[in-house]
Structure 1
């Protein structure tokens, strides 16, 4: 039976608590029954995420599960291109938008396929930052008007591949990142008889902001400083290849949170462009690189996990500032290129994880161990617990902390037995919980008590690996929206952090989005025996899919590709389902042959059988079990407590 407070809770309150309307960008919301729903193209047609999960489970694909809303990916490509087209029209700009998708953001075939198809009507191209990515781009690229931008360090074979594309009539621009690359492209152009298209990546004095600010400025890894630009110009002139220089490129980092930074960078880069044109080079393209952000926390601020501008403002400011600089210097307006990857790919994908265990510091509250002979430290703490009215909250906390430390010292010195230590710990957490609840009632929390909720937070154990599926959360402290996918018409009463199933203490999510800064815990629902509890982690389509590692050999998770379909039950269909890694797959990835491992284990079991350590029938079963696990999935096969295996 629901408590009064739980029954008074509404789905709308959950929608506000988790910030759906702030970061969801009109795509994610909560329906009246407390389920998360997604509108892939924000046209009123919605899909209940749990319906997708249930269908995937019926196909044998359990969580952890990546769901790709392919319509949403297409929608983002169209939205980006149409926004720039509108800005160009509104500003009277005499040039075009020629966007490219940087493959490094998500090289998966199903993602690149969808982006290439969605960009057909806009001549939306591709960007490659390595030789393998260029090979993908050459094969996937369609049409002679779409650009391929070649970034990154380049050897001769990389440049030969780019020149091969030029022979096929493709608009491939080799961006010079280092001065030495100028000599290479000149030599190879003469060797192959191909007229290259060249760009210069310039190091701007304008520095980026956010997590990637260190990738810009004088110490940037890539790009030419002003003197090097002049040296490169002289080399092209000497080789009589002035006509090859077509583009100026700059990059001020990924996820730029502040529009002022973008404006300043565009202005500086436009000056470089105009100066090169005035020096007699034909030019034609200004590549503003990446940086277009995603508002992960919905705060619309210049916080590193947010952005203080809209897509419309981003496009207008780039178009306006380029026009103003070029017009003032009497230079023809270039076609504008951007390499927006995160903004295109991140929203289309989400990770679904299942919680299967709760670790609770206060689990045994009320079941206090009663030592046969109580130590004075325990009785002192009991007095502190019962006589709360005599002391203030902060004073009680200080006293309890002192007593707990005293108990640990006595235990280490051999003056306190295990039962009394356990009793002291339990009473300490009871006191902390008592103090925290009083703080909720009073509304005021002294500074030293701010961390109490974090200390008291439960750990919800989730069947996934942070290192495989949310690497940026661990490596860069990137914040992602996290919410329950169901039960959102119930009040969440548990403060929790999320821990994964890796054997690494860093395998957890302990920071969560908040309208002001960030939170150290997430409000979730109590687990119910025999029932699954699913969480959604959103906006994971950029980098996370491809950068995950093989820590603990967990490998890729299951995956489904979802499309809207009005005639289908629940308004969608799963177009493709991809099974996650098997044990045999990841083992072979680290140089083992799974058949050889099975043979070795069988030898050991046969040897044990001969020594009568194992009965023959049991030995056969053990061999079969070991071999069957080679073909099983790497993640846990969860059985809900007091429930049936899903």
Structure 2
């Protein structure tokens, strides 16, 4: 008997959900944005509500309260560690805007992080322009990273005149003198930081972004020279931040511990030179457990947020105490940990491709022997002979193709043979499951027989990291989790690209190549792709000119009722055409000329011409995805 607990275990929800997701007694996926069991959002109810409002799918759901909850969790973890290890300073979080630059997301982070003096990190002039529009707390830092030209430096230094607490990190040695010269011209004293290039590297997909091969950071020699130059400009008191970064999504806690110890030693040695370093910025890298395995696999992390904070605080304190230097304020740029959980993409499935398994084959009596043999095997296969019959069927299929290539059978007969082969395979895989046959032959056959569920979305736009680097994201049915899934499948999108397919899925011990799903019936079937709040919004690709998805921002009140806080419309066809430099007025004019020419030369009626133009204008202003 299938139970709700079986679905939770099958999809690993409690392992990767961090307390935010589960399944209710109705079999619907639920969201607990505050981790409070009394404040629950039934995602199927929200889906039905939006369908009734004629809001088309796919829809990206945002849960702003999850952002607030993650900020609280991160700050609480460091507070606990600071208290436990008697660390003599504080912690401040920084959100790196590159992780998610969406205005609505940053607004919520700034609002929720204000009581923690949470700041922002930028890496470009555009991000800095956006960051300066937000009302940070007086003690929050605005950290400027990345390669900087004079224009970038002018903008950052001018912001200091407006009482912003701007930190300019020297990521490249050549920036040093330019920063100091422009600061002197503007009569501004910025908070200066140095990014150290460590020997230590992270682990996982982004390990190469750290260590000696990193494109950012100063070597030991460059750090010493940088300190000397800053002293010559009488700005040494402004050198207050030591920064390092060993990579995103670090999977192994020991890598973090090693890097902190190395950087802490650099901090201590600089501090012993009577330099007023106040902040120790450990950068990003705090990992998310996407697959729930709590291992050092690329899709996981073998530590919790609390263990992360413990290792940072303990390792830093240990070195500082050895060197007899004061404990610095700890900064971290943990963007993924803050934003990943808050976004869920819901896609509607418009159908699936399952071959010819439901077609009935009737013999007339004059079929070639190969058809008769396949038909007899299909009828006679059973739990005792299925292995032998399956291997025979493979030989029969080869013979079928050879006969067709030699011109000895017709298309209709080839079709009959293929249908019988696949129907026999389906019977064989059923017997293999019943006998728990896990041999490679039947594992491969199971994948081959799996269905392709056609989702109304674009992998390249909504989950680009899956396509680009095979980042795993959990996928769960929005409803029907009280029913045992009887099908296996992958999820294909509606782009004209064979890469537009989700064919790798989270699993406790492995990476699944097919996912357990339900047979489609007359009702709608929705799938949720979760933990996509970090990077996916920003790096989405307009492949086939599919644009950004509609958004619904959902909150839950203290009584447990959910509300739509905001609807953000996705891209229309005219929007994405504009992104690739098409002028919509010109397109309308050019098409109208074509229609008028058809009226003059082809006998097109004026009423038909008007209908055609209205249809063109209507589609121009419609959502880029299918209206199903």
What TM-score do you get using the length of structure 2 for normalisation? Answer: 0.96
Q: 1:15 aligns with which of 5, 8, 11?
A: 8
CA distance in 2: counterparts of 1:564 and 1:230, whole angstroms: 53
Does 1:109 find its partner at 2:103? yes
User: Would you say the 8 A contact 1:566–1:572 is kept in 2?
Assistant: no
Q: 2:596 aligns with which of 600, 606, 626?
A: 606
Does 1:620 find its partner at 2:620? no
Aligned-pair CA distance for 1:71:
1.2
User: Would you say the 8 A contact 2:118–2:137 is kept in 1?
Assistant: no
Does 1:352 find its partner at 2:337? no
CA distance in 1: counterparts of 2:480 and 2:490, whole angstroms: 18
Q: 1:548 aligns with which of 540, 548, 563?
A: 540
CA distance in 2: counterparts of 1:112 and 1:382, whole angstroms: 63
Matches within 5 A, 1:156-167: 156-167=150-161
- Secondary structure in structure 2 of the residue aligned to 1:218: helix
Name the residue aligned to 1:300. 294
Name the residue aligned to 1:322. 316
What is the aligned-residue RMSD (CA, Å)? 1.9
- Secondary structure in structure 1 of the residue aligned to 2:554: strand
Name the residue aligned to 2:479. 486
Aligned-pair CA distance for 1:403:
3.3
Aligned-pair CA distance for 1:421:
2.1
Matches within 5 A, 1:398-477: 398-477=391-470
- Secondary structure in structure 1 of the residue aligned to 2:211: coil
Q: 1:264 aligns with which of 236, 250, 258?
A: 258
Q: Which runs of 5+ in 2 are unaligned?
A: none
- Secondary structure in structure 2 of the residue aligned to 1:403: helix
Name the residue aligned to 1:562. 554
CA distance in 2: counterparts of 1:241 and 1:523, whole angstroms: 62
CA distance in 2: counterparts of 1:533 and 1:573, whole angstroms: 23
Aligned-pair CA distance for 1:598:
2.0
- Secondary structure in structure 1 of the residue aligned to 2:91: coil
Map Cα deviations across residues 210-259 of structure 1 (whole Å, 9 max, x no partner).
11111112211211222322332332233333222212111121111111
Name the residue aligned to 2:47. 53
CA distance in 2: counterparts of 1:414 and 1:216, whole angstroms: 61
1:191 to 1:410, Cα distance in 2 relative to 1, 3 A: farther
Q: 1:213 aligns with which of 203, 207, 217?
A: 207
CA distance in 1: counterparts of 2:4 and 2:438, whole angstroms: 29
Of 349-358 and 373-382, the range deviating more from structure 2: 373-382
Name the residue aligned to 2:82. 88
Aligned-pair CA distance for 1:53:
1.6
CA distance in 1: counterparts of 2:333 and 2:365, whole angstroms: 70
- Secondary structure in structure 2 of the residue aligned to 1:597: helix
Q: Which runs of 5+ in 1 are unaligned?
A: 1-7, 639-646
Does 1:588 find its partner at 2:578? yes
- Secondary structure in structure 2 of the residue aligned to 1:440: helix
CA distance in 2: counterparts of 1:375 and 1:596, whole angstroms: 61
CA distance in 2: counterparts of 1:155 and 1:371, whole angstroms: 80
Map Cα deviations across residues 124-181 of structure 1 (whole Å, 9 max, x no partner).
1110011111112222142331011111111111111221122223222111111111
User: Would you say the 8 A contact 2:21–2:30 is kept in 1?
Assistant: yes
Map Cα deviations across residues 546-598 of structure 1 (whole Å, 9 max, x no partner).
2111111111111111111246xx70111111111111111112111223222
Map Cα deviations across residues 280-304 of structure 1 (whole Å, 9 max, x no partner).
3211111111111111111111111
CA distance in 2: counterparts of 1:61 and 1:386, whole angstroms: 49
CA distance in 2: counterparts of 1:393 and 1:255, whole angstroms: 46
Map Cα deviations across residues 416-459 of structure 1 (whole Å, 9 max, x no partner).
42122222322222232222222211213222332221111101
User: Would you say the 8 A contact 1:360–1:458 is kept in 2?
Assistant: yes
Map Cα deviations across residues 48-77 of structure 1 (whole Å, 9 max, x no partner).
112222222233312100111111111111
Does 1:526 find its partner at 2:516? no
What TM-score do you get using the length of structure 1 for normalisation? Answer: 0.93
Q: How many residues align?
A: 627
- Secondary structure in structure 2 of the residue aligned to 1:139: coil
